[in-house]
Chain A
Amino acid sequence: MNLFREIYQSIVRRDSLSTDKGKSELVFLNVWLHIHPAKVKKEHMKFRHTFYLGFVTFFLFLILVTTGIVLMVYYRPFPPQAYQDMKDLEFVVFMGPFLRAMHRWSAHAMVVCVFLHMCRVFYTGSYKKPRQFNWVVGVMLLLLTLGLSFTGYLLPWDQLAYWAITVGSNIGSYAPLVGGQLREWLLGGHSVGEAALVRFYVLHVAVLPSAIILLTIVHLWRVRKDGGLSRPVWTLKKDKPQDLVTIGAPVGAAALKTSAASPSKTYGLMEVVTGKPIFETITPEEEEDTVFSYPYAFVREAVALMVTVTGIMMVSLFFHAPLEELANPAKTPNPAKAPWYFLGLQELVSHSAMLGGVVAPALMVLALLAIPYIDRNPSRRISDRKWAIWLFTIFVVANLILIVVGTFFRGPGWALVPPWVHVVAGAE
């Protein structure tokens, strides 16, 4: 018995959870949890502050990794076996359709959640100093998410996949000078074929996931280092100048005197140093407003996780992932559409290839990356940021309108057809 206890205690080395010490040790003695602070501000946990969108996105990613790994077991990335494997998943593999549906719907949901998360961060002004670069990391994560979704789109090797990728990669090829090269490099040829499938597979299961995991680590690490989440806008007080504090000293302690470094002395890392912190500091009265991460933050995150998982499972139980005919380069569907999140661009391309293929995407990405550096207004209050809010809202709404028009209002020949009108394709 003693041996078992010893083994248990060698693994879980914290004190009992009934003590505050135990609660904080749960967090900072655990490699998986220590990204959390031991204590969090109550206001950070408010649902209407973040809608837990970052968490939901992360949980969706976990579902995608899990289901994706299982799907890999059943998948061969070359045509036409790839398509046959889809059929096998559909008809033979135990719970195959459910698995595929979960992967598919989580992927779509992740694109949506990343975007909504970005909107939340913008509207709360949470990209402002010192979080500018974390916004940039976030934009890169958005691009990686789109890349993962796009590369995954081809893998079933059906008509939907083939033509969506053909159209999508054509949009990219409008970029001057590099566009054609880029497309050829991505597809391994002039059109979507065997080489493209293998490349997309490698990108989808190895390159992009590694990149997104690395950047997610950076993203979360910086949130933690910036003092946790940004404060809800409604609790913002008047900005006060940052005091000189001693990092690592108890809150409220007087700053240590700084002295010039002696040239003969060697400094170790463990020294107490003096300087301005990069993160938001908290005052003693704010300190009182905090609670232990365990159980308060964790139980909320756990609920968010279960809501995400059950939501996706429920949808997957009733709606199977689509699978069309085997990819046929000789048979173009009319209209051939890119994946839905690129339909805004395709809609623009239908008016001007230069605008939709080059100017709009380049401007969008550059503008998103540059937002924290262009917006030099230090205030996070909505009333102080009318211009920024308006501009961003126009950007979001314009995107939505273009995507909705491209998805639901475009029929054969890219003609404007309302979704309630059923167009019967003419006999060939």
Chain B
Amino acid sequence: MERRLQQAFFGLSILALVLIVAAAWQANTPSWKTYQHNFLQLEAQGEPNEVTKAAVLATPPEIHQVILTGLQRVDRCTTCHLGVEDPTMKNAPEPFRYHQGLGPHTPSRFGCTICHGGQGLATDTNGAHGKVDFWPNPLLNKDYIRASCGRCHKEGDVPGVPELTEGRRLFESQGCRGCHKLNGVGGSIGPDLTAEGANHRSPDWLERHFLTPNAVSAGSAMPNFHFNNEQAKQLTYFMLSLTSEEMGSYYSSVRLIPGPEYGRQLFVEKNCIACHNIGGVGAKTGPNLAGVTKAHSAQWLDEQLVNPELVYPGSSMPAYDLDANARKALLSFLNTATADDAQLILSNRTKALTPEDVAIESGHQAYARFGCVGCHGADLQGGVANPNAQGGEVPSLLHLSDDYTKDEVLAVIRNGRAPPLDNPNGPTPPLYMPSWKKVLSDEDINHIADFLWSKQQKKKADSW
């Protein structure tokens, strides 16, 4: 017995040792080391100098990581994707291939997962690609990676991603805000979409949802807007970009890409034409701005925009509060601006609008922007199904003036209203008129009413 026990102790100790060695072996042979080894072989292949070749091959294996405090992430993708920044790896096999067309979006500044998704901290293939349990954010399908541009570029056109711009435009013009909140503005019938992208729904789910809402979420109150496949994809792009994550100042500064379009908008907004002219068109108080970007360095112009008096003591040009991107945008507009542009700007300025026109136009915009469109339609035609509401659908607004005074309409917009029921014992209709008084100013509401009244169709005179 005693001998047996001693033997057992000895045997178990050996087993423990074997287990520790096994665990160490398991820990010491991760797949990334194999990848790094293969990459070094690839690099050494084209190396004519034996000494350099040996040095390359002797590079010790190590985990590469990009710590991105501004994006709150650490990406270790370059541990295996070793050639992303090396143009000579253009034709290398994956995972070593060079990433073309990154522009300013270098991995050292942006990492990979902000655009591609996946698990940046992981160092094994499945884990890193997020195709594992408990990682909600797998690699995005190739078709949708560009949706991620919208995570930083939240406004305006994003070059190369028309889907995003179009998706945004659809969102604002189809009345989505009538039911959905985005960044604090909108109704509360549907879910808040401010951080919809952070839910990591699959693009496939989102697209099917836009095509037929009820097919993927049973009992959803969302009407079918009869989007086509392309529009569904555009909206999906927009949804994927809404991650609402905190970003460092560098990443949030590119919210709006400083292009000539934005510059032109600023030029109009700040009324530069009131003092300046372009190629002789405009006011003559300030200098001609045609070719100004060729006459001065970008830095000089930038300083001029920050504080004119510092560059030209006694300058009568006021200091505008323009951020770095706005200044960049202005200059990029001036780079291409011609006398024709000035002419166009001047002609728009002089087109007189009556106060009524202004009110109606602003009402029209509010009607679209705050989502009235979603249920009542772009042409006020109504018609969205609303089971058990009177008539079974959302009412048309084309004949409001027959039944209501303007004040009554104002009160309904302000306070909201539950739709009258078809069958008093039936279920509550899913859609209702929300109260807008906390969302819209009185001015907005008045403008909307003005807009509605401008569209009223007079009852045809009884023609007997």
Whether B9 contacts A317 by the Cβ 8 Å rule is no
Say whether B26 contacts A98, CB under 8 Å: yes
Max chain A C-beta neighbours (<10 A), residue from B20, B22, B23, B122: B23
Chain B residue nearest to A158 in the complex (CB): B134
Task: Please state if B74 and A303 are interface contacts (CB–CB under 8 Å).
Answer: no
Q: Which residues of A contact B127 (CB under 8 A)?
A: 90-91
Other-chain contact of B16, A159, A309, A324 (Cβ < 8 Å): A309
B15 at interface (Cβ–Cβ under 8 A)?
Answer: yes
Q: Judge whether A84 and B216 touch: CB under 8 Å.
A: no
In whole angstroms, what is the CA distance A362 to B8 when docked?
44
B440 vs chain A, min Cβ distance (A): 28
Q: Are B19 and A317 in contact (CB under 8 A)?
A: yes
Contact of A306 with B2 in the complex, beta carbons under 8 Å: no
Closest to B133 in A: A324
Measured between alpha carbons, how far is A158 from B123 in the docked complex, in Å? 19
Question: Does A198 sit within 8 A of B, measured CB to CB?
Answer: no
Q: Which residues from chain A contact B9 at a C-beta distance below 8 Å? A: 299, 302-303, 306
User: Per-position contact with A for B189-223: 1 when CB-CB < 8 Å, else 0?
Assistant: 00000000000000001000000000011100000
B2-A92 in contact (CB<8A): no
Contact of B122 among A91, A317, A325, A428 (CB under 8 A): A91
Binary CB contact string for chain A from 66 to 89 against chain B (1 if under 8 A, 0 otherwise): 000000000000000000100110
A92 to B76 Cα, complex, angstroms: 10
Q: Which of B5, B20, B135 contacts A303 (CB 8 A)?
A: B5
User: B-facing mask of A301-316, CB < 8 A → 1, else 0?
Assistant: 0110011011001101
Please state if B122 and A313 are interface contacts (CB–CB under 8 Å): no
B7-45 interface code vs A (CB 8 A; 1 in, 0 out): 011001101100110111011100000000000000000
Q: A84-B121, A313-B19, A427-B217 are in contact. Are A300 and B5 (CB under 8 A)?
A: yes
B136 at interface (Cβ–Cβ under 8 A)?
yes
Say yes or no: is B63 at the interface (Cβ < 8 Å to chain A): yes
CA distance A88 to B122 in the complex (A): 8
Chain B nearest CB from A68 CB (Å) reads 17
Contact of B2 among A88, A296, A325 (CB under 8 A): A296
Q: Does A420 contact B (CB under 8 A)?
A: no
Quick one: given A314-B19, A428-B217, are A87 and B121 in contact (CB under 8 Å)? yes
- Decide if A136 is an interface residue (CB 8 Å cutoff): no
B63 and A92: CB pair below 8 A? yes
Q: Which residue of the partner chain, among A307, A314, A317, contacts B26 with CB atoms under 8 Å?
A: A317
Contact among B20, B122, B218 for A87, CB-based, below 8 A: B122
Contact A310 B63 (CB under 8 A): no
Q: From B23, which residue of chain A is reached at the shortest CB distance? A: A98
Nearest B residue to A306 via CB reads: B12
Flag if B135 contacts A325 (CB, 8 Å): yes
- A295 in the interface (beta carbon within 8 A): yes
Interface size class of A (residues with CB under 8 A): 20 to 34
- Please measure, in the bound complex, the distance between the C-alpha atom of A19 and the C-alpha atom of B23, giving whole angstroms: 42
> Are B136 and A325 in touch, CB under 8 angstroms?
yes
Is the pair A91, B124 in contact by a Cβ cutoff of 8 Å?
Answer: yes
Interface membership of B6, Cβ < 8 A? yes
Looking across the interface, which residue of chain B has its beta carbon closest to that of A312?
B19
- When C-beta atoms are compared, the residue in chain B nearest to A93 turns out to be B27
Q: Is A4 an interface residue (CB 8 A)?
A: no
In the bound complex, CA of A95 to CA of B5 (Å): 31
Cross-chain contact A325 with B134 (CB below 8 angstroms): yes
Residue numbers in A under 8 Å from B12 (CB-CB): 303, 306-307, 310
Which residues of chain B come closer than 8 Å to A323, judged between CB atoms?
Answer: 134
Flag whether A94 is at the interface (Cβ < 8 A).
Answer: yes
Task: State A96–B26 Cα separation when bound (angstroms).
Answer: 11
Q: Which of B8, B19, B20 has the most CB of A within 10 A?
A: B19
- The distance in angstroms between the C-alpha atoms of A98 and B27, with both chains bound, is 8
Expressed in whole angstroms, the Cα–Cα distance for A313 and B12 within the complex equals 12
Contacts of A91 in B (CB 8 A): 76, 121-124, 127
Known interface pairs A95-B27, A98-B26, A317-B26; A310-B134 also in contact (CB < 8 Å) = no
| Bound-state Cα–Cα, A307 to B16, Å | 9
A91-B124, A92-B63 known; A299 vs B2 contact (CB < 8 Å): yes
Shortest Cβ distance from residue B137 to the other chain A in the assembled complex, whole angstroms: 9
A300: which B residues are within 8 A, CB to CB? 5
Which has the most chain A C-beta neighbours within 10 Å: B5, B12, B63, B217? B12
Q: B residues within 8 A CB of A159?
A: 134
Residues of A within 8 A of B124 (CB): 91
A427 and B24 contact, CB distance less than 8 A: no
Bound-state CA distance A384–B315 (Å) is: 109
In the complex, chain A residues 385-428 whose Cβ is within 8 Å of any chain B Cβ:
426-428
Q: Can you name the residue of chain B whose Cβ is closest to the Cβ of A159?
A: B134
B:119-167 near A, CB below 8 Å: 121-124, 127, 133-136
CB distance from A7 to the nearest CB of B (A): 27
User: Bound complex: CA of A92 vs CA of B122, how far in Å?
Assistant: 8
**B residues 342-357 in Cβ contact with A at 8 Å:** none
Are A94 and B5 touching (Cβ within 8 A)? no
- A317–B222 alpha-carbon span in the complex (Å): 50
In the bound complex, residues from chain A placing their C-beta under 8 Å from that of B24 are 94-95
CB-CB under 8 A for A299 and B6, given A309-B16, A313-B23, A317-B26: yes
What is the chain A residue whose CB lies nearest that of B201? A428
Chain A 294-344 residues near chain B, CB threshold 8 A: 295-296, 299-300, 302-303, 306-307, 309-310, 313-314, 316-317, 323-325
Across the A-B interface, give the 9 residue pairs with the lowest CB-CB distance, nearest first. A306-B12, A87-B121, A313-B19, A324-B134, A95-B27, A91-B123, A98-B23, A299-B5, A310-B16
A/B interface sample: 30 pairs, CB < 8 A:
A87-B122, A90-B122, A91-B121, A91-B124, A92-B63, A92-B123, A94-B27, A95-B24, A95-B27, A98-B23, A98-B26, A158-B134, A159-B134, A296-B2, A300-B5, A306-B8, A306-B15, A306-B16, A309-B16, A310-B12, A310-B15, A310-B16, A310-B19, A317-B22, A317-B23, A317-B26, A323-B134, A426-B218, A427-B216, A427-B218
Residues of B within 8 A of A (CB): 2, 5-6, 8-9, 12-13, 15-16, 19-20, 22-24, 26-28, 63, 74, 76, 121-124, 127, 133-136, 205, 216-218
> Can you add 15 more A-B contacts, CB < 8 Å, to A97-B27, A313-B19?
A88-B121, A91-B76, A92-B63, A96-B27, A299-B2, A299-B5, A299-B9, A303-B9, A306-B8, A306-B9, A310-B19, A316-B23, A317-B23, A325-B135, A427-B218
